Amino acid sequence: MKSFDHKEIERKWQKKWQNERTYAVTDDTQKKKCYVLDMFPYPSGEGLHVGHPKGYIATDVYARYMTMQGMNVLHPMGWDAFGLPAENYALKNKVHPAVAVKKNIARFKEQLEKIGFNYDWDREINTTDPVFYKWTQWIFIQLFKKGLAYESYEPINWCPSCKTGLANEDLDGNVCERCGTVVEKKPMRQWVLRITAYADRLLEDLDALPWSDSVKEMQRNWIGRSEGALLRFPVVNTEDVVEVFTTRPDTLFGATYMVLAPEHALVAKHMPRITNADEVQAYIQATAKKTDIERTTEGKEKTGVVLKGLVVRNPANNEALPVYISDYVLAGYGTGAIMAVPAHDERDFAFAKKFNLPITYVIAPHFIDQKNPPKKETPTIERVMVHAIIHDTKTDMYLMLKWKKNPWTSFVIGGAEDGEDLLTAVAREVEEETGYTNLVFKRQLGGTVCSEYFAAHKNENRFAYAHAFLFEIGSNTQHAEPSPEELEKHEPVWMTLQEFEADPNMTCTEYGIWRGLLEKETAYTGEGMLVNSGDFSGLEIEEAKKKITAFVHGELTVQYRLQDWVFSRQRYWGEPIPLVHCDTCGIVPVREEDLPVRLPDVESYEPTGTGESPLAGIEEWVNITCPKCGGKGKRETNTMPQWAGSSWYHLRYIDPKNETKLVDPAKEAYWSPVDVYVGGMEHATRHLIYARFWHKFLYDIGVVTSKEPYQKLYTVGLILAEDGRKMSKRWGNVINPDDMVSKMGADALRIYEMFMGPFGQAIAWSTDHMVGTRRFLERVYGLRESVKDDGEVNVVLLHKTIKKVGEDIASFNFNTAISQLMILVNDMEKRTSVQGAEYKTLLTLLAPFAPHLTEELWEQLGHTTSIHKEAWSVYDETKLQDAVATIVVQINGKVRGFFTVAPETGEAELKKSAKEVATVIPHLEGKEIVREIVVPGRLVNFVTRG
């Protein structure tokens, strides 16, 4: 068999497709549309490696399939070329970024074209083209007019290496995502987009999107919505109040101190009255020097300083609370101040332990005893209970009580008298019941725990407020025999905790809580009932949140982790922000008819590092007449971030040459939204949030008709290098697609990348494995010699294949689609001849994957039109069933034999035949069949006994 010449075939067809404009897209509104989009590439200087085209191949296969299904398919491509990578590359190589970008695009395009994509290049876009960025600027002006773009002087992330401010989304932890430099907080003038105004809609509309749970969850986490309340704490002897955001207003009675972020405005304001100002200043300065990394990795070890002379009042009970500053409170979240409830917040707990602050428990876990549940029609008595947990550290034993009249083993336990101090009560009970005195009191275990149970010895239901106290045997501890009356009730017994837990008579509803607190002292953050909270005691948490907030005149509010989008960059290579600063009119947008504001040519575009962009130095560009009053004005010199263009580019492909509108409304209504969007997981919380935000804004101002830009979303799994690491010039493990196309052909590359494994999964490249796909194509090529009009045909297999390949492409399961095609080809190869019609169908099924070879073979069959214009075959539901069914016979679920029958054979017949299978008979001998399970067409299972 002669192998095919892929180079010749590819050259021939790529040229022909181009000349005949095979893939031109028209706005044929008679047809149903399908908009398939790739996240467009950033044309770097490195060129493509073999991983880049994976997503493009997938969308190409999908788009070709949808075209064959009769859809009008839009599958465009373009370039995202503004921003730091291009600019840094240009600086390094001493060329103008515009020149570098042009060259890189040419290289990318050349590489892509070799792979045989069906792009309509007439719709190519480029974010750095003034014709394109005119509309990016136009959108900014609309945002500005609606108050969604604002100037701010707040501290932001500053990358000292890239010399520009960055958005939160541009950070990788605490370092600049581009260059890896640790970022600083720097107060500076900047433009910010009010994305938080869209936070709830970005969150709510996520639910209905047919995206993967992981991407949706990532976005939810990123937005980080939390419901809570704003509460106000008056500062004693001043007019000021400290406003606090908390998700737990129900714990207000447990607030024992307050913490402000070191940067909080009130700290500076009240510095004169702070008596330890030196210490406070020192802490503030130390914090300012710390990077976020130091703040977090230095650990959970809390630091802080009390503000002596500053006291606030708890609005719930008027208690005076001390005020601290600590870097565990972040200036950028909530109000930059918290009420600290150490009993019910782990961070506050750690801080309170370190600074010896009081811990007041106001939420009690609430248990109902399962062993002795409360009885109906029985009076319930409330009692305050005390548990003594008495530990002998020498033997690691604990002192318990074994009860005489009831089968109970318990801690030393008793009730507190009305008004009696709990510690007094527990000491009294210990002495009475065990005879021990002068035990060493270690600590109380947490706070109150409520438990309800039936107390058989008193025939009453108890609602107990239980408290546990840990004691140890000390050198002064004395022991006397308890009284005979007490011994009659229960006997003190030393046992280990393990023995206690294993004791079937162990009675202690709250044991789980005590046990946890014995091991580790910690805050209680779980469910429960309010205690020690005045009139609110007895309420459940959710109800208390509302009532206490209302009681102190607070407001229920919502906070987001998401912060407004820092939108200005002090760099050259971006869209100029189209605003003018005028002394009389303030900030005025550039007139829309004057757009685009072109990026001026400049001799030096190096970043200045001063907080101003290089554009600030070009006087003839900066100085301009004010669009409003005609007086003197100065242009805004900041530029937009890399993510501006990609936030709306999907709309421009629909109408790329429109000079008067961003997109023609009729065309938008037809093509939008994107039906299938494909790209990398790394864009889950940046591009995909920004683009959703802008799209929703454009919806609000009537530019688009859909609320969401992208319907179905598939994320591409990375292709790793053969060594399992990321492909990188640095490791020298990069595989270039050009080499693979040249060696094995574009079709083999395409099929291999789709066949490697599940589309969304990261898999290492293997050139060895790739030879299999080339062999497969050779076999398809070889088949043409055995094609005869009346050749052999496997109807069932053919129809199964039509069904599976179509369904698998539609659901992005390309690997199994290809495997099915291989099964069909293997079957055809084994025959002496292949029916012409079946062969033609095979070629059309393979066409989306291998566009060049199938087009060539199609022509060889005598066709004069492109195979890519053919209709997808329709399978016949009645031809999917095999002529015979293989029935599995199981005995007790184990496979013991097979037989074949007609698929529609009935149950009775199947049972009968199953019992006659030679390999089955020995297993049934002497056994009684107690159950027979029959799944027609599949199996018979006999359950036997004996």
Partner RNA sequence: GCCGGAGUGGCGGAAUGGUAGACGCGCACGACUCAAAAUCGUGUAUCGAAAGGUGUGGGAGUUCAAGUCUCCCCUCCGGCACCA
Applying the rule CB under 7 A, the residues between 222 and 241 that interact with RNA are 222, 224, 226, 228
Pick from 403, 465, 401, 436: which is nearest to 427 by CA?
Answer: 436
- Cβ neighbours, 10 Å, residue 407: 12
| Of 502 and 930, CB closest to RNA | 930
Choice from 758, 796, 865, 912 touching RNA (CB under 7 A)? 758
Of 297 and 318, nearer to RNA (C-beta) is 297
Site string for RNA, 535-574 (x = CB under 7 A): ------------------------x-x-------------
* Smallest distance from RNA to CB 844, Å: 19
Contacts of residue 684, Cβ cutoff 8 Å, sequence gap at least 6: 214, 215, 218, 219, 715
Lookup: tokens for 19: 């000349």
Find, among 115, 116, 126, the residue nearest to 51 by Cα: 115
Considering only the stretches 55-63, 245-253, 538-546, 637-645, report the one whose residues sit in contact with RNA under the rule CB under 7 A: 245-253
Q: Any contact of residue 338 with RNA (CB under 7 A)?
A: yes
Are the C-beta atoms of residues 472 and 439 closer than 8 Å to each other?
yes
Strands (E), 523-681: 529-530, 555-560, 565-566, 579-582, 586-589, 623-625, 632-635, 674-680
Q: Which of 6, 52, 64, 248 binds RNA (CB under 7 A)?
A: 248
Q: Which residues within the stretch 849-908 sit at the binding site for RNA (CB under 7 A)?
A: 886, 888, 890, 892-896, 898
Q: Per-residue x/- mask for RNA, residues 770 to 789, rule CB under 7 A?
A: -xxx-xx-xx----------
What tokens appear for 592 in the block? 């829309």
Nearest approach, Cβ of 839 to RNA (angstroms)? 17
Q: Quick one: tokens of 692?
A: 């959703």
Three-class SS of residue 90?
A: helix
Residues 6+ apart with CB under 8 A from 834: 783, 786, 787, 788, 791, 792, 793, 828
Binding residue for RNA, selected from 41, 334, 492, 607, defined by CB under 7 A? 334
**CA separation for the pair 235, 269 (Å, rounded):** 12
For RNA, the closer of residues 252 and 663 by Cβ is: 252
Give start and end residues of each alpha helix (H) in 191-311.
199-204, 213-223, 265-269, 277-289, 292-297
Among 23, 65, 257, 328, binds RNA (CB under 7 A): 328
Q: Where in 416-476 does DSSP place strands (E)?
A: 436-437, 440-455, 460-472
- The nearest distance, CB 551 to RNA, in angstroms, is 17
Name which of residues 131 to 190 contact RNA (CB under 7 A).
173
* Residue 82 or 560 with smaller CB distance to RNA: 560
Residue closer to RNA, measured from CB, 728 or 919: 919
Could you say which residues in the range 683-702 bind RNA, by CB under 7 A?
685
Q: Rule CB under 7 A: say whether 211 interacts with RNA.
A: no
CB nearer to RNA: pick between 246 and 409: 246
- Kindly tell me which of 243 and 612 has the beta carbon lying closer to RNA: 243
Applying CB under 7 A, among 250, 327, 675, 838 the residue interacting with RNA is 327
Stretch that binds RNA, among 74-82, 458-466, 529-537, 822-830 (CB under 7 A): 822-830
Q: Is 527 exposed, middle or buried (0-12, 13-18, 19+ CB in 10 A)?
A: exposed
Task: Pick from 681, 810, 917, 929 the residue near RNA by CB under 7 A.
Answer: 681
- CB of residue 904 to RNA, shortest distance in Å: 16
Please list every residue from 250 through 289 that binds RNA, using CB under 7 A: 261
> CA quadruple 796, 802, 803, 808: dihedral positive or negative?
positive
Tallying the residues shown for the chain, one arrives at 946
When the beta carbons of 107 and 831 are compared against RNA, the nearer one is: 831
Q: Are 46 and 735 in contact (CB under 8 A)?
A: no
Residue 18 lies near RNA (rule: CB under 7 A) = no
Token pair for 227 = 């419901």
Q: Which is nearer to RNA, 304 or 414 (CB)?
A: 304
Contact with RNA (CB under 7 A): which of 258, 362, 749, 763? 763
**How near is the Cβ of 845 to RNA at its closest, in Å?**
14
Distance CA 775, CA 780 (A): 9
- Nearest Cα neighbor of 352 from 231, 523, 221 is 523
| Residues of this chain, 434-463, that bind RNA according to CB under 7 A | none
CA atoms of 743 and 723, how far apart (whole Å): 21
Supply the minimum distance, in Å, between the C-beta of residue 583 and RNA: 38
Q: Which residues, numbered 347-406, are part of the site for RNA (CB under 7 A)?
A: 347
Return the closest-CA partner of residue 195 out of 686, 530, 684.
686
Does residue 941 interact with RNA by CB under 7 A? yes
Question: What residue type is 364 in one-letter code?
Answer: A
Q: Per rule CB under 7 A, is residue 91 in the interface with RNA?
A: no
* Interstrand relation of 125-126 and 78-79 (parallel, antiparallel or unpaired): parallel
Among 152, 525, 608, 815, binds RNA (CB under 7 A): 815
Residue carrying structure tokens 């595989």: 735
Nearer to RNA, 349 or 653 (CB): 349
Q: How many residues lie near RNA (CB under 7 A)?
A: 84
For RNA, the binding residue among 48, 325, 362, 818 (CB under 7 A) is: 818
Give the residue from 269, 276, 343, 284 showing the smallest Cα distance to 306: 276
Q: Which of 246, 434, 507, 801 binds RNA (CB under 7 A)?
A: 246
Write out the binding residues for RNA, residues 915-934 only, by CB under 7 A: 919, 922, 931, 933
645 Cβ contact partners less than 8 Å away, ≥ 6 residues apart? 80, 82, 127, 128, 132, 133, 136, 575
- For residue 86, the minimal CB distance to RNA (Å) is 23
Among 33-41, 369-377, 518-526, 752-760, which window interacts with RNA (CB under 7 A)?
752-760
Smallest gap from residue 881 Cβ to RNA (A):
13
Output the 3-class SS for 743-799.
HHCHHHHHHHHHHCCCCCCCEECCHHHHHHHHHHHHHHHHHHHHEECCCCCCHHHHH
By CB under 7 A, the residues from 503 to 522 that bind RNA are none
Residue span binding RNA (CB under 7 A) among the ranges 137-145, 217-225, 373-381, 785-793: 217-225
Question: CA-based angle 592:593:598, to the nearest 5?
Answer: 85
Q: Pick the closer one to RNA by CB: 135 or 222.
A: 222
Stretch that binds RNA, among 361-369, 424-432, 646-654, 812-820 (CB under 7 A): 812-820
Reading the block at residue 477, the tokens are 């501890």
In the complex with RNA, the residue whose CB is nearer, 313 or 769, is: 769
Cβ proximity to RNA: between 292 and 675 the closer is 292
